[in-house]
Amino acid sequence: MKIIVNGAGGRMGTVLCNLIEAAPDKEIAARVSAEFTTDAAKQLYQSLDEYTGDADCIIDFSNHTAVPALCAYAVRRQLPLVIATTGLTEAEMAAAADAAKTIPVFRSANMSLGVALVACLAKITAKAFPGADIEILEKHHNQKLDVPSGTALLLADAIKTVRPESTYNIGRHDYGKRTKEEIGIHSLRMGNEVGTHEIIFSMGSQTVTLRHEAESRALFAEGALSAAAFLIGKAPGTYSMDDIFE
């Protein structure tokens, strides 16, 4: 599998490139990152458009603003696309959905199998305790840009599928009681924390807490590689972790 890595110079891109280099059945087609100076001999490219060579897929860990151009490139080259970047605006999500009309696009705010499992358990718990107060707490390193994390929103969205009346209260700060419908979402930013997510269901008489801790960034890169392997040969459309589970 020949992979174009978009955002190759960043924290996740670096981990991903290291994993690809260590895998006998995978190779890097191009490392693309805004801070690179293009040097084809070293597979380095400052922008995607500069790379016209072979590839089987693209994995993106860059910045949400890169997504429209990334989608246009993937469509032009008819390459399966894994978008791991988070914090997409409505317009950027629409660009990804548009691309999925002609190529397979995999998108997940969290590439970890463990988080997919927590999302599944969150739905079961919310269904079992319809009156529970639900609070989500997320912790990340001090360089993270998007707040709240894409994963916190992914977990809240999973709960909303079984509790459609849910509203999100992000960073609660107002004076007044919480409502029954709201899901509180709270973000902590500190040190090198890779990523912890906790969903607390409080029933008054008992509390259920679901917690996922990422120990190293490798888990997201491994998940992105599984997503790419899954995506190659698939029909155009939007895919997510749920599809891998099935």
Ligand X SMILES: NC(=O)c1ccc[n+]([C@@H]2O[C@H](COP(=O)([O-])OP(=O)(O)OC[C@H]3O[C@@H](n4cnc5c(N)ncnc54)[C@H](O)[C@@H]3O)[C@@H](O)[C@H]2O)c1
Compute how many other C-beta atoms are within 10 angstroms of the C-beta atom of residue 206: 9
- By beta-carbon proximity to ligand X, the closer residue of 86 and 125 is 86
**Min CB(176)–ligand X separation in Å:** 32
Of 159 and 214, nearer to ligand X (C-beta) is: 214
**Least distance from C-beta 205 to ligand X, angstroms?**
35
The residue among 73 and 201 lying less far from ligand X, judged by its C-beta, is: 73
Distance separating alpha carbons of residues 218 and 220, to the nearest angstrom: 5
Q: Which is nearer to ligand X, 105 or 132 (CB)?
A: 105
Task: Please give the C-alpha separations between residue 169 and each of 24, 41, 47, 50, 66, in angstroms, as whole numbers.
Answer: 46, 50, 38, 43, 28
C-alpha–C-alpha distance, residues 47 and 38, integer Å: 8
> What tokens were used for 164?
């459609």
Binding site residues, ligand X, CB under 6 A: 6-7, 9-13, 32-35, 61-63, 66, 84-87, 108-111, 146, 220
What is the C-alpha separation between 56 and 2, in angstroms, rounded?
A: 5
Looking at beta carbons, which residue is closest to ligand X? 10
DSSP state, 148?
S
Min CB(86)–ligand X separation in Å? 4
> Counting Cβ atoms within 10 Å, is residue 154 exposed (0-12), middle (13-18) or buried (19+)?
buried
CB of 49 to ligand X, least distance (A): 10
Residues noted as catalytic: 140, 144
